[in-house]
Amino acid sequence: MPISHLKITIYLALDVYLIFMTNGQRHEYTQNPKVSAVLVFGDSTSDPGNNNFIMTGFKGNFPPYGRDFPNKTPTGRFTNGMLATDLVARYLGVKDNVPPYLDPSLTVHDLMTGVSFASAASGFDPLTPTISNVISLPRQLEYFREYKTRLAGRFGKTRTMEIVNNALYIVSAGTNDFVVNYFTLPTRRQQFSLPSYMDFILNKQMDFLQSLWNEGARKIAVVGLAPMGCLPIVITLFSDNALLNRGCIDFFSSVGRTYNSMLQTRLSLMQFELANQQGGRITYLDSYSTLSEAVESHKHGFKEVQRGCCGTGLLETTVLCNTKSITCADASKYVFWDSIHPTEALYRIFFESTRSVIDYMVKD
């Protein structure tokens, strides 16, 4: 038997075993008539813990991460509480939180209402995930194909495709391609000018979305880039005087604005060429405005907008934000949890700002 088939067989056997052992006490989720599942791809903005199960140092499965998550559990989410994707799943009534696909305890019934394939530190550039040894976007797509096979083994191909076609897909990645890769390491800067690199990333992103469509996705929400010049770690690493001048660096943020404009144009074209003809919706979710308004316009009333809650908030992330780090008393007053990642409070604002788009995506 091929190894891939053996792996699927083991997964299915484990699903049956767990259903039997729980004796019906496992929480059942009723299928939402508007959306069958929430399926997520991307980076740390949507990774609920897949990196826990791979050999990488880029993990968040230890305190103080998860400090404000239910039961104060550090799940691997790179924040103090829930991600925006969790909030979307709750809003749609699909499930309480979107779990990581690689969690071996998930049953096929857990899978059918949605999982995240995202991996913190990943990106669309094939080089980006190799820097931190994380799961590439093409590999996430392979896991999605495996996911479909697991469902088909339990529910059959017809029911599986109903779930796949009626799921809401959220794709959130791209920041690492610029912050971790292009702006920090020399390889891509030697190969690409900044405009040509943006074209390179955009083409990789559109190839991924096309592949997702080919697999049966019909409701795809794509998150744009944030104002990268407002991330505390970017200010610390690239500001002339990072201790005194903690303002956003517009050069880096302007890359996000330009890229987002390019992305929206390509998504509109994809909507016209594919979705309008074959049925489906492909749309853009604006994360840039949420973060920019919070940091630069002080619109949402956060007490601290220039540094993270964990440690000094200037450079700490992943292992540098740990059990020995001093953290702020109330993370809801902070835009950032560590030097890169937002707090649950900002994710909630982002979710609220996109609710009308989510409603449009899942309407009949």
Catalytic residue among 36, 287, 338, 339: 338
Q: Which of 43, 46, 177, 341 is catalytic?
A: 341
Examine the residue annotation and report whether 109 is marked as an active-site residue of this protein. no
Evaluate the omega torsion of the peptide bond into residue 64 and state whether it is cis, within 30 degrees of 0.
yes
CA–CA gap between residue 120 and residue 45 (Å, rounded): 7
Provide the residue type at 239 as one letter. Answer: S
Long-range contacts of residues 249-255, Cβ cutoff 8 Å, at least 24 apart: 252/178, 252/179, 252/183, 252/227, 252/228, 253/227, 253/228, 253/229, 253/292, 254/229, 255/178, 255/194, 255/198, 255/225, 255/228
Farthest CA pair distance, the chain: 63
Tell me whether residue 338 is one of the annotated catalytic residues: yes
Task: Say whether 164 sits in a helix, a strand or coil.
Answer: helix
List strand residue ranges (DSSP E) for the chain, in order. Answer: 38-42, 168-172, 219-223, 281-285, 304-308, 334-336
Q: Over 33-62, what HEC string results?
A: CCCCCEEEEECCCCCCCHHHHCCCCCCCCC
The question of whether 341 is a catalytic residue gets the answer yes
* Pair 225, 174: CB distance under 8 Å: yes
Which structure tokens are listed for 41? 């791809």
Q: Are 342 and 336 in contact (CB under 8 A)?
A: yes
Calpha distance 134→289 (Å, rounded): 28
Check 15, 43, 44, 287 and give the catalytic one: 44
Residues marked active site are found at: 44, 338, 341
